[in-house]
Amino acid sequence: MYPNDLRIPNQDAFVAEEVVTRLKSRNPYVKAESADPFYRVDMADVFRHGTHVLFTTPAAYSPHCSALHLPGYVRDAAKFKAVGVDAIWCMSVNDPFVMQRWVQAADPTGENVLWISDSSADVSRSLHLAICMAGLGLGTRARRAALLIKDGRILHVSLEPPAEFYISSSEYMLKVVKAYLT
């Protein structure tokens, strides 16, 4: 991420139908192309309005991501909302079918964490979060990170060093959000 490039890039990713409904309630001009049963949306549209926390994971169903990363954000969702976060998003380089099942398993109501499928890693590349994990048989993936985004501007990026998990956790990002928003 370059210091002078603080806006969310215009890259496509997949989301669920209920996400499109939420986005259109804030911005009726959101363009969503049906790719039944999911929708392709422009990431700039997703984050154009409101305050968002986006956390990225290398792989759905991986041990750290499933045991700590995603469950922490599900658990702390009410705390984020209490300090002004409109939505928490989980993005991974996985197909939308995998993302839907993985997030639903952790958040059955779908009220705490929304998901983004960056199936081709284009969004991860555009945000300079892509990492080659071919040596592990995973191809291109997103680095473990968390971003605070307000009205389309990236205010903060917590980019984890390889094989670490701390500054992208829900506990740490809650402190970041409080520092920026209160």
DSSP assignment of 80-100 equals HHHTT--EEEEEESS-HHHHH
CA dihedral 50, 70, 14, 146 (to 10 degrees): 50
Of residues 65, 113, 145, 167, which has the active-site annotation? 65
Query: Are 163 and 77 within 8 A, CB to CB?
Result: no
Q: Is 65 known to be catalytic? A: yes
Q: Could you tell me which residues are beta bridge partners of residue 130?
A: 142
Q: How far is CA 15 from CA 60, 131, 160, 166, 172, in A?
A: 15, 22, 25, 27, 26
Neighbours of 31 (CB within 10 A): 14
Q: Which positions are annotated as active-site residues? A: 65
